Amino acid sequence: MTDRVILVIIDGLTHAGACSGMGYLNHLVEAGRAARLLIKAELPTLSRPLYEVLLTGTACYVNNIASNYPAGMSGQKSLFHLTGEKGLKNAAAAYHWISELYNRHPFDPVRDREQDDESRAIQHGRFYFDDSYPDSHLFSDGELLRIKQNPDFLLIHPMGVDNAGHLYGPDSGQYRQKILEADAMLGRLVPGWIREGYHVLITADHGFSPDGRHGGTSPEERRVPFFGIGPSFIPGAYQEEVSQLAVAPLICNLLKISPPAAMASIQFPALGR
């Protein structure tokens, strides 16, 4: 049984959009090969605070990452810190805010685009800084890191769905097209990840209000999907809401690392071990 994890955070993916637009992932659920859950995003429903929630398992009032700006480094132990302390290897292909939270602030597009330094929290990173950076390139960045570095924990974080939501709204053809494209890319990559012995977790930071915004408290902004693929999950479509704070301790469980005291302790449904 594997103890390695690939976490895919599809920025701005609503639960409704995932259920209606991700044919491959929902096929795995129907075929008894994956679990699908409904995650309730923490507040505020903004990207930088929710990256911190997903990667440290701490709420805003604990970590003080309360908005997208002004930027600053996290004061919490992230999954990157924890894997490094355990002697595991990690990597990330992600938006540059992830680098700013855990490796170095401020982000320099030349100096920090590619990072390979095992003394840092994120040991191997490929970071983009343009919201329109193609998801196809980002997934390729992540897959190359996986092949070259063979990490125990890999974060892949595409922005195309979020960018389309801001530009056209979550009820637009452009938004739905980006969801279809992300699902197709996962359809090409996930079978290989499974063969290589990874647990694959796919979720989002936040959703969208009908007018293409987020940051508020509406159900559309807070309801995001979670797909769990691997031998530790009991397959099926689960209807109960699960706190977003449960994701980081779940990953600690799968990696067999001890969570820090500040991390929320929440039981994750659909686990078989």
* Look-up of token digits 């992932």: 25
pLDDT computed for residue 257 by the predictor: 96
For residue 125, give Cα distances in angstroms to 29, 98, 217: 31, 10, 32
Q: Average pLDDT of 236-254?
A: 97
Taking the CA atoms of residue 117, residue 100, residue 226 and residue 190 in that order, the dihedral angle to the nearest 10 degrees is -40
Instruction: Quickly list DSSP for 157-222.
Output: ---HHHHHHHHH-TTSHHHHHHHHHHHHHHHHHHHHHHHTTEEEEEE-S----TTS--SS--HHHH
Tell me how far apart the alpha carbons of residues 118 and 87 are, in angstroms, rounded to a whole number: 10
DSSP 226: E
- What is the average pLDDT score of the chain? 97
Tell me how far apart the alpha carbons of residues 269 and 226 are, in angstroms, rounded to a whole number: 11
pLDDT computed for residue 267 by the predictor: 87
Tell me how far apart the alpha carbons of residues 37 and 163 are, in angstroms, rounded to a whole number: 24
pTM for this structure?
Answer: 0.98
What are the phi and psi torsion angles at 123 (to 5°)?
A: -75, -40
Tell me how far apart the alpha carbons of residues 225 and 17 are, in angstroms, rounded to a whole number: 9
Tell me how far apart the alpha carbons of residues 45 and 158 are, in angstroms, rounded to a whole number: 17
pLDDT computed for residue 272 by the predictor: 87
Q: Is the pLDDT of residue 2 over 70?
A: no
Smallest CA-to-CA distance from 39 within 27, 25, 29, 53 is with 53
The CATH code for residues 4-255 is 3.40.720.10
Cis peptide before 235 (omega within 30 of 0): no
Q: Average pLDDT of 25-37?
A: 98
Q: Average pLDDT of 13-23?
A: 98
DSSP 233: B
pLDDT computed for residue 1 by the predictor: 46
DSSP 271: B
Tell me how far apart the alpha carbons of residues 111 and 130 are, in angstroms, rounded to a whole number: 16
Q: Is the pLDDT of residue 54 over 50?
A: yes
Domain boundaries, the chain: 4-255
Tell me how far apart the alpha carbons of residues 1 and 152 are, in angstroms, rounded to a whole number: 13
pLDDT tens digit sequence for 151-163 = 999 999 999 999 9
Name 130's Cβ contacts closer than 8 Å, sequence gap at least 6: none
Tell me how far apart the alpha carbons of residues 34 and 30 are, in angstroms, rounded to a whole number: 8
Tell me how far apart the alpha carbons of residues 206 and 188 are, in angstroms, rounded to a whole number: 25
Tell me how far apart the alpha carbons of residues 74 and 101 are, in angstroms, rounded to a whole number: 5
